[in-house]
Amino acid sequence: MTQADLETPSDYAAVGGGPAIAAVVDRFYQLVLGDDRLKGFFEGTEMVRLKRHQVALVSQVMGGPVGYEGRDLRAAHAGMNISSEDFGSVAGHLVTALTEAGVERDIIDRVVTTIAGTEADIVESRPAAG
């Protein structure tokens, strides 16, 4: 065996690279835009551009050669009043899209862990203390 045989492919390569991630992102936005709770966040949004940024972000998260060059996540979501519940719903739709695409559970778990780390940059509104 050579050293190359021992190297584990990136999650990006393991799922099929750019075309597979683009298909997951398309399905993800079908789910998000079909969710009455979330679709209002996307009114007036240029979806082709947003999908392109999302493909780059997911590709980067999965160790692919594509780097995310969109706006800072905090700036991009400022003023949208996204709650933790909204964030959780979006993450759930991503898990569904990845699962439907046949992505292995350990890869999904790594993606979700990374995405969860962005919550503080995206969530603004929090439930009032009771």
In this model, does residue 128 exceed pLDDT 70?
A: no
The residues with which 83 forms a beta bridge, in sequence order, are 125
CB atoms < 10 A from the CB of 62, how many?
A: 23
CATH code: domain 15-122 is 1.10.490.10
15 pLDDT band (50/70/90 cuts)?
Answer: very high
Q: Give this prediction's pTM.
A: 0.86
- Give the pLDDT score at 5: 44
What is the Cα–Cα distance from 25 to 55, expressed in whole angstroms?
Answer: 6
For residue range 88-115, list pLDDT tens digits in order: 999 999 999 999 999 999 999 999 999 9
For the chain, domain boundaries = 15-122
Query: What average pLDDT does range 29-40 have in this prediction?
Result: 96
- Could you identify the residue written with the tokens 């780059």? 56
